[in-house]
Amino acid sequence: MKIGDCVVAWSKDEELRKMGASGGLVTSLLVGALETELVDEVIALRKISEFEGVPIRTSDTDEAIRSAGSLHAAPINLTKFAVRFFEEHPDGAIALPVKPCDCRGIIEQAKRRKIDMDRIYLIGLNCGGTMDPITTMEMLEKMYEMDPKKIVEEEILKGKLIFKTEEEEKAISIDEVEEAGYGRRESCRYCGINIPMMADLACGNWGAGEDETFVEILTEKGLRLMKSAVDHGLIETAPAPEKGIKIREKTNSVMENVAKTWYEKVFVPIEDRSERMKYYMDAMEDCIDCEACKYVCPVCSCDESKCIGFYDPMDSHKISIYHLIRLLHLADSCIGCGQCTDVCPAEIPLTILHKRVADRIQAKYDYIPGIDMKTPPFFEVE
Amino acid sequence: MKKIVCYGCNLGCGLYFGDVPYFRKNSPVNSGKICRFGMKIHRYEKVLPKVDGKNVELDDAIAAAAKKLADVKEMAFVSFGDVTCEEQLAFNKLAEAFESDVHTCIPRFIGANIEKIRQSKEIITFIDPYTSYPLILRHMLHAKKNGAKITSYYWKKLRIADESVILNPAEIDKIKSINFGDSLVITDLNPLNLDFSNEIIKSCNAENIVCLKPFLNSTGASLISDGEKSIYQIFEEIKEKKIKGLYLLESDLGIVPDDTLMAALDELEVLIVQQSMRNALSDRADIVLCGDRKFEGKGTVLNFEGRVLENEGGTEGIKILTDILKSVGEEINYDKMHAEVLSKLGINEIDEYIVPKYDIKYKQREAEIKNYEGDAHLVYAYNPFMWNNVIDRDFVEISPSLVESLNLHKDELLKMTSSKGSVAVKYKINNAMPDNIVLSPMKLPISTDIVTPVNFKEP
């Protein structure tokens, strides 16, 4: 194996192959990283149900194994959990599975010296999108006529959203469920980054056979992760077949096109300046000052937050200074992950509001945050 | 991280808690969203066990409480419901052992559920969803997006309302003439506004009322405990020496607007408080027993819909009650309490995604709703911080015209005088405010009730 290789891989442990998605590779890599002492801890989602995963940080391999399995309806960004690890263990090392938006958040935090990229192992996961758990449960009852409590597995495959119980399997096209207001979170629909090429490994089932994972080895750290798991007898690998490589490319291209269509649908330009101002004021006026959007934001890194520090709740502005500062602060770093919209109690479409500003700025400076370690255009120092 | 329920109010917002709160997106009420209070639930100073002003070991405080309970007759027991059903039930057992009831100070009532808000076409609200119960806002916004007409009856205009009717304290009884029709009515039931809520509840079909409440488990506590005294009756009976000792479980009587009422507590033979937060009440108490923090008690919580929720945590609070009950020969434990709670609720297991049906008869109060004298009024804007006696916002809201008429400059203070005295406070200008109302998110020393007649003349 070498950097740039594409392989298929799977866990040698029969139990893990069953528990984990696509042959249990990712869980085996986490276990391998702990057992070979490449890392001190791993971060994973402990599965409570198909609709609930609790983020855990652990050095216990058994606990890592218990977190096996994919969860599409537990949309949590793990960046801040990685930041917490480095706050507590500046010289420690950690591994975690990352969706592209987790990975982008981590890279932005690394630029702000909150994460040490040499000590974090990013097991990238291809991502076609995640779903909000509550609306997904509602969708299951209304569109699939399935009991959410009986769901044992869900999958996104060939443009369809598939749910399985012990007794049956039902699939509906993603277009149909999204037309009805369900399906993937809005930010996932227009996200065009599906394969995390900025991670150490890019893993997924696109182009892979049954019970195996397609892996592209992207960095020296990724190679180290794979080799240590092989040497430790945890995984088996084989070269990725040409057909698999083409399927993966094609799937990615289809997803990129779907995202483009959604982007155009959601981000209809507001050409008139005063209309644009009115749009922002109207959307932000429901704000109840909870600050959850800042708290959950994977790229927010201020220790003493300017957005909070300069904000005075006694001011009577229709858009608070808090939001104005955040709009400015995120202009070069917003990755459009959707976490702020997810947690907003007033249902303000914050991700869209931020992206409307950030996309223009990022396009102007030819800068895409979270893709590489390129210095953000607003940084004063290189 | 533990799965917990926010104690900011009785909406039943689910979240995770490790060292800090985190968003639990599959929580049925709030989809993981939490308000400003929810984001700060853990930020309070924990109280230490105390007897007669001196810090002691918890066991010594428990022994002192058991002795006082045996010695002092005419004890009253109060728990607003800031504890799990299991702890409330254990508190009931304690009260029963001393031939008393537990008073929650909020009547038993369960009305419509969240789904009904979301499906409504006409909503009448008596609460400010932005401030008082923030996580109800999203359900109202959902209804509005689907075409619901929202009318508010409140102290100021509400942004969400299509029609805002400003309540006038001098004519509050006008709410009697509102034609509710088939509208869904959103109101709240708290220890300070029983007459107001009573008027609304008796005028509507119970199935059309969403009745919000201020404490973690207000609904569960009122189903479990039978005491019917209001917070004001309790103060009255203390003054009349009918109540000689008071045991407060996570219940700060200091929520009453009129601070002078609190002086009655000094006339008690014993004031026992079992709570986790250090505050003026714990400083005043003869015996302080410290349990789990409000969000850390293991057990069952019922939200305003009657939805049964699980709170992961410890059983320190129940253990304190267990130890006191041992002194009178009673044996209880968490498992027994939990089994009895499920049996009382008529369920075998907790399923947060189902709202069980309840058959509860609301007991109407005979009291009449009262108007307030005067031309200008200071009014409390209920919010989770106020119910916890925490100052989050240290300013009041007033109209631009009032600012102009008083010739107030930026950074100047608003001076108000009531029958109790004067105060100067910071103010925020809000176009939504009427000219005759000062809306306060915090308790002010000049208040005599939830509505206080004031004037703006120099004393």
Comparing C-alpha atoms, which of A276, A357, A360 is closest to residue A323? A357
pLDDT at A155: 82
Q: Is residue B310 part of a domain?
A: yes
pLDDT at A137: 96
Whether pLDDT at B40 is above 70: yes
Which residue is listed with tokens 């216990």?
Answer: A60
Segments forming the whole domain that contains residue B312: 2-106+220-345
- Residues B266 and B165 grouped into a single domain: no
Of B162, B191, B212, the residue that ends a domain is B212
Q: Is residue B6 part of a domain?
A: yes
* Chain mean pLDDT for chain B: 96
Out of B24, B26, B138, whose CB is closest to A347?
B138
- Residues B269 and B319 grouped into a single domain: yes
Model confidence at B20, pLDDT cuts 50, 70, 90, reads confident
CA dihedral for A110, A111, A113, A116, sign (positive or negative): positive
Q: Is residue B9 part of a domain?
A: yes
**Residue B35 Cα, gap to closest chain A Cα (Å):** 5
Helices (H), B155-274: 194-203, 218-224, 231-239
3-state secondary structure of B248: strand
- Which whole number is the average pLDDT over A353-382? 91
Q: Is residue B16 part of a domain?
A: yes
Pairwise CA distance, residues B85 & B338, whole Å: 8
Pairwise CA distance, residues B446 & B417, whole Å: 7
- Residues B207 and B267 grouped into a single domain: no
List the CATH number of the domain containing B146: 3.40.228.10
Residues of A in contact with B353 (CB under 8 A): 137, 148-149
List the CATH number of the domain containing B252: 3.40.50.740
Q: What is the pLDDT of residues A201-235, one digit of tens each?
A: 999 999 999 999 999 999 999 999 999 999 999 99
- Residues B231 and B311 grouped into a single domain: yes
Chains A and B form CB pairs within 8 A to the count of 95
Whether pLDDT at A318 is above 90: no
Whether pLDDT at B177 is above 70: yes
How many domains does chain B divide into?
3
Q: What is the pLDDT of residues B275-309, one digit of tens each?
A: 999 999 999 999 999 988 999 999 999 999 999 99
Which whole-number Å values give the CA distances from A36 to A225, A226, B233, in the listed order? 9, 11, 68
Pairwise CA distance, residues B229 & B104, whole Å: 8
**Residue A74 Cα, gap to closest chain B Cα (Å):** 7
Whether pLDDT at A328 is above 90: yes
- Residues B333 and B381 grouped into a single domain: no
pLDDT at A67: 86
- Residues B335 and B428 grouped into a single domain: no
- Residues B298 and B335 grouped into a single domain: yes
Out of B16, B141, B430, whose CB is closest to A316?
B430
Which whole-number Å values give the CA distances from B297 to A278, B130, B306, in the listed order? 46, 28, 19
- Residues B58 and B140 grouped into a single domain: no
Interface membership of B353 toward A (CB under 8 Å): yes
List the CATH number of the domain containing B394: 2.40.40.20
- Residues B316 and B380 grouped into a single domain: no
- Residues B283 and B311 grouped into a single domain: yes
Pairwise CA distance, residues A43 & A34, whole Å: 11
Q: Is residue B319 part of a domain?
A: yes
Whether pLDDT at B459 is above 80: no
Pairwise CA distance, residues A75 & A82, whole Å: 16
- Residues B320 and B394 grouped into a single domain: no
pLDDT at A382: 60
Q: What is the pLDDT of residues A273-292, one digit of tens each?
A: 999 999 999 999 999 999 99
- Proportion of chain A above pLDDT 70, given as a percent: 99
Q: Is residue B368 part of a domain?
A: no
pLDDT at A159: 82
Q: Is residue B69 part of a domain?
A: yes
pLDDT at B63: 97
Q: Is residue B227 part of a domain?
A: yes
Of B181, B196, B212, the residue that ends a domain is B212
- Which whole number is the average pLDDT over B395-416? 96
pLDDT at B365: 87
Of B166, B181, B212, the residue that ends a domain is B212
Pairwise CA distance, residues A75 & A78, whole Å: 10
Contact check, Cβ <8 Å, B138/A52: no
Contact check, Cβ <8 Å, B36/A55: no
- Residues B226 and B341 grouped into a single domain: yes
pLDDT at A156: 80
Q: What is the pLDDT of residues A370-379, one digit of tens each?
A: 999 999 998 8
Q: Which residues of A186-196 are buried (b: 16+ CB within 10 A; e: fewer)?
A: bbbbbbebbbb
